[in-house]
Chain A
Amino acid sequence: MITLSNVTKVYKAASGNVTAVDHVNLHIEQGEIFGIIGYSGAGKSSLIRLLNGLEKPTSGEVIVDGKDMGKISGKQLRQARQQIGMIFQHFNLLWSRTVRENIAFPLEIAGVQKEERMKRVDELIQLVGLQGRENAYPSQLSGGQKQRVGIARALANNPKVLLCDEATSALDPQTTDSILDLLVDINKRLGLTIVLITHEMHVIRKICDRVAVMENGKIVEMGEVLHVFRKPEQPITKRFVQQVTEPEETKEAMLHLLERYPNGQVVQLTFVGEAAEQPLITQLIRQFDLYVNILQGKISQTHHGSYGVLFIHLDGANEEIERALAFIRQQEVEVEVLANVE
């Protein structure tokens, strides 16, 4: 559906050129929810804006649904854009128009007849759950409701691709979740390809199939979300993964705990998918002559299964601990011995 080959975007500025996107190669399948994560200034917005031709690549090729977005212009570009919906961090609604009129706007652009337009708007209002607010103006809506209008508007012309530029960054956690649920629902129901950019790993975890990590205009790591969670390679990816798996203070807390448990070992277990739901601890206690203390744990749900991190303290004879660790490794659970305090 979307293919970027060797795409570079350089902004020319008086203070020097900025390479916002640096030799990016990317392929996104039809129907996929693809996330791009990176810190501020990484070039995420520049990248997503290349996909609907709001920016032209300095070099390389941007193919969306068979069209070369860097080359086409005029009417061709406008028609291609009608097949690509976009939602924004700050919603970008027309405040002079009601909810209905805002949603009708892209239909007016596409030249849809009035009667047909009204029918479509009603469907979209149902789809995003804004019944009863049709005639409100944006200034009378909450952030979540505004983003729902943005989503309805982006879907009006039945696009094949939906681009989300930090669509939930201005929303509180609850509202973020409800908007993310809506996006998943739309993706399932309409088979829409969704590309979203964010700086929150929570968003990636919750709805994405695959993720690309961006740093200084480059994609430094890319893969299935669950895989990236289990084996993050780059330091920046590790930091993002920690955003959702470990609270900030975990490392310090662990150091503190190591002092409190001078005997045995403190072990970090990482569960993915099925493994996260197995009664591993019960098995450990039953099969081995060990004391098992659960120090801290957290299970997160991703779009493709659960992902959990558990810190435990194992105390007992050294051989027994080794046997237990070997057993755990057989269970498709990643084991990391944090420190051997002896």
Chain B
Amino acid sequence: MWNELFPNVVWDKIWAATMETLYMTAISVIATFVLGILLGLLLFLTSKGNIWENRFINGVIASFVNIFRSIPFIILIILLIPFTKLVVGTILGANAALPALIIGAAPFYARMVEIALREIDKGVIEAAKAMGATTSTIIWKVLLPEALPALVSGITVTAIALVGYTAMAGVVGAGGLGNLAYLEGFQRNNNDVTFVATVLILIIVFIIQFIGDFVTSKIDKR
């Protein structure tokens, strides 16, 4: 029955493309999470009135974040082709998509991290200082735990955006479901392939959203 409904779909290829999409998303989400928190923390800590207040460093990071956040992803991929070639050695395949995915998403997430940290009551940070906490204690035991629900819901949104980015990256040769939908589906006029690829992408997005919401509600004690 499946074969009648989807005559042009090669299920092995779909499976492989799904795995590629999941692989690209997972690696880029993990890297974005780490990099974004790092950048977000730096943005927050160097901002006015904070522990490492430093206008210069804050200005540099903020411009970096703003510039990369504003470049449309599809253009970012093209701009990063030389860089990708240098780092990954090729501009084709799943790994080739990673630099663009991470550089595209990390600044986006860094802003969310900064906003999450700014939401923390200043009094709580002050209380920790008054107890004699070091800066690293404040980061690990106050800032990150207190912001965790917002950090998780932020990475959920970012992960979903990343699934979309992988599909775009697929169009320029990165593999995955986006690539399949474009090359096998759209260009060869196999609507059933496009349809299956789309449904799978939607399922991935729903699952990410579900996990994100679940985890956020579990850790949110506010």
Chain A interface (Cβ < 8 Å from any Cβ of B): 52, 54, 77-82, 84, 86, 88, 90, 92-97, 105-106, 108-110, 137-139, 153, 157
- Closest Cβ of chain A to B221, distance in Å, is 4
Q: Is the CB of A94 within 8 A of B146?
A: yes
Q: Is the CB of B126 within 8 A of A96?
A: no
CA distance A96 to B141 in the complex (A): 10
Across-interface contacts of A52 in B (CB, < 8 A): 130
Across-interface contacts of A86 in B (CB, < 8 A): 127, 130-131
Residue of B141, B142, B221 with most chain A CB atoms under a 10 A cut-off? B221
Q: Is the CB of B133 within 8 A of A92?
A: no
CA distance A77 to B123 in the complex (A): 19
Listed from nearest, the 10 A-B pairs whose CB atoms lie closest are A81-B132, A78-B132, A92-B123, A92-B127, A137-B221, A82-B132, A106-B131, A86-B130, A96-B145, A109-B133
Given A139-B221, A139-B222, verify A94-B142 contact (CB < 8 Å).
Answer: yes
| B148 CB within 8 Å of chain A | yes
Q: Is the CB of A93 within 8 A of B124?
A: yes
CA distance A137 to B219 in the complex (A): 12
- A156 — nearest CB in chain B belongs to which residue? B131
- B138 — nearest CB in chain A belongs to which residue? A109
CA distance A92 to B137 in the complex (A): 16
A-B contact pairs, 13 of them (CB 8 A): A54-B129, A78-B133, A80-B132, A86-B130, A86-B131, A92-B123, A92-B127, A94-B142, A95-B146, A105-B131, A105-B141, A109-B131, A109-B134
B146: contacting residue among A80, A81, A96, A157, CB under 8 A: A96
A-B contact count (CB 8 A): 65
B127: contacting residue among A84, A88, A108, A157, CB under 8 A: A88
Q: Is the CB of B131 within 8 A of A81?
A: yes
| B121 CB within 8 Å of chain A | yes
- B127 — nearest CB in chain A belongs to which residue? A92
Across-interface contacts of B137 in A (CB, < 8 A): 108-109
Q: Is the CB of A92 within 8 A of B126?
A: yes
Q: Is the CB of A90 within 8 A of B129?
A: no
Across-interface contacts of A80 in B (CB, < 8 A): 132
Q: Name B's interface SS.
A: helix
A84: contacting residue among B121, B130, B222, CB under 8 A: B130
Across-interface contacts of A153 in B (CB, < 8 A): 131
Across-interface contacts of A93 in B (CB, < 8 A): 124, 127
Q: Is the CB of B121 within 8 A of A90?
A: yes
Across-interface contacts of B134 in A (CB, < 8 A): 78, 109
Across-interface contacts of B142 in A (CB, < 8 A): 94
Across-interface contacts of A108 in B (CB, < 8 A): 137, 141
- Closest Cβ of chain B to A174, distance in Å, is 24
Across-interface contacts of B221 in A (CB, < 8 A): 95-96, 137-139
Across-interface contacts of A96 in B (CB, < 8 A): 145-146, 148, 219, 221
- Closest Cβ of chain A to B106, distance in Å, is 25
Q: Is the CB of A95 within 8 A of B222?
A: yes
Across-interface contacts of A90 in B (CB, < 8 A): 121, 123
Across-interface contacts of B130 in A (CB, < 8 A): 52, 54, 81, 84, 86
CA distance A82 to B130 in the complex (A): 8
- Closest Cβ of chain A to B135, distance in Å, is 10
Residue of B124, B130, B145 with most chain A CB atoms under a 10 A cut-off? B130
* 10 further A-B pairs in the complex, CB-CB below 8 A; given A54-B130, A108-B141: A77-B132, A78-B132, A78-B133, A81-B129, A84-B130, A88-B126, A92-B126, A93-B127, A105-B128, A139-B222
Write out, one digit per residue, whether chain B residues 131-162 have a CB within 8 A of any chain A CB (1) or not (0).
Answer: 11110010001100110100000000000000
CA distance A279 to B142 in the complex (A): 59
Across-interface contacts of A81 in B (CB, < 8 A): 129-132
Across-interface contacts of B148 in A (CB, < 8 A): 96
Across-interface contacts of A92 in B (CB, < 8 A): 121, 123-124, 126-127
Given A78-B133, A79-B132, A109-B131, verify A88-B141 contact (CB < 8 Å).
Answer: no
- Closest Cβ of chain A to B102, distance in Å, is 28
CA distance A290 to B134 in the complex (A): 72
Across-interface contacts of A54 in B (CB, < 8 A): 126, 129-130
Across-interface contacts of A77 in B (CB, < 8 A): 132
Q: Which of B54-104 contact A (CB under 8 A)?
A: none
Q: Is the CB of A94 within 8 A of B132?
A: no
Given A86-B127, A96-B148, verify A110-B222 contact (CB < 8 Å).
Answer: no
Across-interface contacts of B222 in A (CB, < 8 A): 95, 139
Across-interface contacts of B133 in A (CB, < 8 A): 78, 109
Across-interface contacts of B127 in A (CB, < 8 A): 86, 88, 92-93
- B129 — nearest CB in chain A belongs to which residue? A54
Across-interface contacts of B129 in A (CB, < 8 A): 54, 81
